[in-house]
Amino acid sequence: MKPTTLSLHTKFQIGQVDPRIFGGFLEHMGRCVYEGVYHSDSAHADENGFRSDSLTALKRLQMTAMRYPGGNFASGYHWMDGIGPKQQRPTVRDLAWQSIEPNQFGTDEYIQLCRSMGWTPMLTANLGTGTPEEARNWVEYCNAPPGTRYADMRAANGSIAPHAVKLWCLGNEMDGPWQLGHVPAGQYAIRAQQAAKMMKDTDRSIELVACGSCTIDMDTYMAWDHEVLDYLGDYTDYVSLHRYVGNHENDTANYLAITNSIDRQIEEMDAVCRFIQAKRRSKKRAYLCFDEWNVWYKNQEMDGEGKFAPHLIEEVYNLEDALVIAGFFHSFLRHADVLKIANIAQIANVIAPILTRGDDLLVQSIFYPFEMFSRRREGVSLQTRVEGPSYESQSYGRVHMIDASAILGESKLHLFLSNRSLDESAEVQIQLTDDEFIGLDNAEILTGSDPKQANSFEQPDQIASIPFDNTHVVPNQATVQLPPLSFVAMTLDL
Summarize as ranges the residues that interact with ligand AHR (CB under 6 A).
27, 29, 70-72, 172-173, 292, 345-346
Q: Assess contact for 411 and 435: CB atoms under 8 A.
A: no
Q: Cα(188)–Cα(322) distance, rounded to whole angstroms? A: 36
Q: Cα(122)–Cα(136) distance, rounded to whole angstroms? A: 15
Closer of 295 and 480 to ligand AHR (Cβ)? 295
The catalytically annotated residue of 27, 140, 292, 320 is 292
> For the chain, give me the number of helices (H) and strands (E)?
10, 27
Closer of 10 and 299 to ligand AHR (Cβ)? 299
Residue 12 three-state SS: coil
> Closest residue to ligand AHR, Cβ-based?
71
Closer of 15 and 181 to ligand AHR (Cβ)? 181
Closer of 119 and 487 to ligand AHR (Cβ)? 119
Closer of 159 and 343 to ligand AHR (Cβ)? 343
The catalytically annotated residue of 35, 101, 109, 173 is 173
Nearest-Å Rg of the Cα atoms of the chain is: 22
**Is there a catalytic annotation at residue 392?**
no
Residue 138 three-state SS: helix
The least CB distance from residue 71 to ligand AHR, in Å, is: 3
The least CB distance from residue 213 to ligand AHR, in Å, is: 12
434 C-beta neighbours (distance < 10 Å), count = 9
The burial of 248, by beta-carbon neighbours within 10 Å (0-12 exposed, 13-18 middle, 19 or more buried), is given as: exposed
Residue 313: φ, ψ to 5°: 30, 60
Q: Cα(117)–Cα(42) distance, rounded to whole angstroms? A: 19
355 C-beta neighbours (distance < 10 Å), count = 23
Residue 266: φ, ψ to 5°: -60, -45
**Is there a catalytic annotation at residue 173?**
yes
Closer of 345 and 404 to ligand AHR (Cβ)? 345
Distances (CA, A) of 237 to 193, 207, 306, 491: 12, 6, 37, 33
**What letter would DSSP give residue 373?**
H
The least CB distance from residue 225 to ligand AHR, in Å, is: 16
Instruction: Report, as residue numbers or ranges, the catalytic residues.
Output: 173, 292
